[in-house]
Structure 1
Amino acid sequence: MEFTGGGRLEVRITAADVGKRVSVRYVTDPGAAGARFTDAVGVLTSWDKGVLLITRRTGEAVRIAEASLAAGKVVPAAPARRRGPSAGFTELARAAAHAWQPLESEPLGEWTLRAAAGFTRRANSVLPLGDPGLPVDAALERVREWYATRGLPAYVQASTGAEGTQELLCADLERLGWVREITAELRTAPLAPLGDLDADVTAVRLSRSADETWLRRYQRFGEPGPHVVKVLGSGPSVWFASIPGTEDVPAAIGRCVVDGRWAGFMAVEVDPARRRGGLATAVMTALARRALDEGASAAWLQVESDNDGARALYDGMGFTVHHHYHHYRWTDA
């Protein structure tokens, strides 16, 4: 709670505070007998025509009638996490981009337009890390044109929940009719404890390339054309892990990209019939040890917010949420 029962309730925010992190208390059912209050904390992304829009850390937008406000104040940025490596949003966003590179890219001011023949949203979306050099409406029109010429849907990847993230852009995208399709968490952890996990890594094979058997377990594409292999092989120092299975399909796979102090973990997949047997842990432990040998000290990964099984696994490995990111798609409907 940001407000205590003994303190005087007072609204100390105005429309001039748009873009700042705020905490508010408001009446949820004004017509009911006795006031019922709810709190909301997040970035004030708009205050228009008597309605406030507050974007929470997870990207959830809360609309609050100005008349229902009981209290409100500007609050400091979310406190630094007590676990995991210290890192800023831009540093992590760039590390993630280095580890999953498109086939082509083009700058739009400080935005980067990325395309890879449609293989994954990450490689076929705009990465907006700053000012596009145009009003947002005009920049997004340019984005739509760029993707249309390539026969691709237009996506923008925008983040919430950390200092320097893009709550205001998310609000603009929703205002202009872009639809959020996917929300994911970018998580971080110290790397050394991953390498120290009690896992049997004797069966894990490491390689610098994704061979045909590795690709048979990876289920994120239709036909594994050269564009898929090129994206998977992109990054400063790329490693692929696999555990043999049956019929030339690995029981488990994983991918790690080492980039300075960071080791990014991706494409961790396990045969459904062999899940909960420690194979994912073995793959990540083997990759972590190789990354430690190359001088990395911190780990990151991305996991979709509705993937409860993977999130529980990563909780147990010490990964904590740094920020959320969202893919918004333009639709004419």
Structure 2
Amino acid sequence: MDKTVIDTALVSACETRIVNAWPAPTTLVVDQWVVRFANGYSGRANSASSLREDGDMDETTLAFVEGLYRQAGLPPRIRFTPLVAESARRRFAERGYRIETASFGMVAELDPNLHPPAPGMLTTAQAEDAWIDGVCAHQTGAKRNREHLAAIVSGVRVPAAFATLLHEGRPAAYAMSVAERGMAEIGAVIVDEALRGKGLGKQMMLGLMGWAAAQGCSQAYLQVDQSNGLAFEMYKRLGFRTVYAYETRILDT
């Protein structure tokens, strides 16, 4: 995407809310950067992100941030969003940060009349044990760690819906949404692999869009891996548009 046509105000609105929607157990603010630590569970919660346009980081600050991650036993990560200054991008690249993942930030407009609550979707205001266990059961690698997921979701302090979608009376999909100041993130969308292709992901998304609209939100936003073409196309059909692209870069040391 051409940075000159990116709505950086909207990018900033999403990025600042993401910190609260997916809270890391330890969060530091270093200049205009938020530096997050979550035991290695998810790149987003274990990386540094600029919260302001043209966010820069000089050599001294970068070395300090890298030291914080190494002290925590984690590799340094930087999220290359449109809020990062070109000078900082060059500095990170020259230092050897490689692309770990690439994602899109997407936004959809909400209308209570078009997004009613979904039948078969159960929600709780806090992440209960059954929800955490269900999410972990359908994950792989580090994301199967129940303790680390619980440490993140238990830190949500703004209105939230932890959703379970039933299919033939049994849990078939999981997701969450967090509403803050007129915008709601939708994330952690997981569908039982044995039940994919039945439209359950779409049903879950519509249900949480309805929940967000009922909270008074006018927009929903999400992040999707650029390699996940099926999810990306589904989100587009649901009215989400790509607002920005970003990379998460990692330093192998």
Task: Give TM class, smaller chain.
Answer: 0.7 to 0.9
Match of 2:171 in 1: 250
Q: 1:319 to 1:145 in 2, by over 3 A?
A: same
Secondary structure at 1:192 match in 2: coil
**Post-superposition offset of 1:244:** 2.9
Match of 1:187 in 2: 106
Shift in Å, 1:329: 0.8
Q: Secondary structure at the match of 2:79?
A: strand
1:207 aligned residue: 124
Asked if the contact 1:252/1:279 (under 8 Å) is kept, the reply is: yes
Query: Could you tell me how far 1:278 is from its partner in structure 2?
Result: 1.9
Q: 1:307 to 1:187 in 2, by over 3 A?
A: same
Cα distance, 1:262 vs structure 2: 0.1
Checking the alignment, whether the CA contact within 8 Å between 2:55 and 2:84 is kept in structure 1 is no
1:99 counterpart residue number: 21
Task: Tell me the SS of whatever aligns to 1:209.
Answer: coil
Q: 1:252 to 1:325 in 2, by over 3 A?
A: same
- Please state which structure has a larger fraction of its residues in helix: 2
Letter in 1 for 2:98: V
Q: Indicate the RMSD between aligned Cα atoms, in angstroms.
A: 2.8
Judging changes above 3 Å, is the alpha-carbon distance between structure 1 residues 131 and 148 closer, same or farther for their aligned structure 2 residues? farther
Shift in Å, 1:157: 1.2
Shift of 1:314: 0.4
Residue among 90, 94, 114 paired with 2:36: 114
CA distance in 2, matches of 1:318, 1:167: 31
Match of 1:298 among 219, 228, 234: 219
Pairs within 5 Å for 1:123-138: 123-130=45-52, 136-138=58-60
Q: Deviations over 1:189-232 (max 9, x none)?
A: 10227x6259x92211111222333234322623301x421312
Give the secondary structure class of the aligned counterpart of 2:45. coil
Q: Is the 8 A contact 2:70 2:76 kept in 1?
A: yes
In the TM superposition, what is the alpha-carbon distance from 1:57 to its structure 2 partner? Answer: 4.0
Task: Return 253-262 or 117-126, whichever deviates more.
Answer: 117-126
Q: Which structure would you say has the larger Rg? A: 1
Q: Which runs of 5+ in 1 are unaligned?
A: 1-55, 59-76, 81-85
In the alignment, structure 1 residue 88 sits paired with structure 2 residue 88: no
1:229 to 141, 150, 167: 150
Q: Does 1:275 align with 2:193?
A: no
Task: In structure 2, give the amino acid aligned to 1:188.
Answer: V
Shift of 1:135: 5.5
Query: Match for 2:223: what amino acid?
Result: Q
Rounded Cα–Cα distance in structure 1 between residues aligned with 2:24 and 2:36: 6
Structure 1 match to 2:237:
316
Query: Structure 1: how far apart are the matches of 2:200 and 2:57?
Result: 49
Where structure 2 has 5 or more consecutive residues not aligned to the other structure, the ranges are none
- Which residue type is aligned with residue 15 of structure 2? A
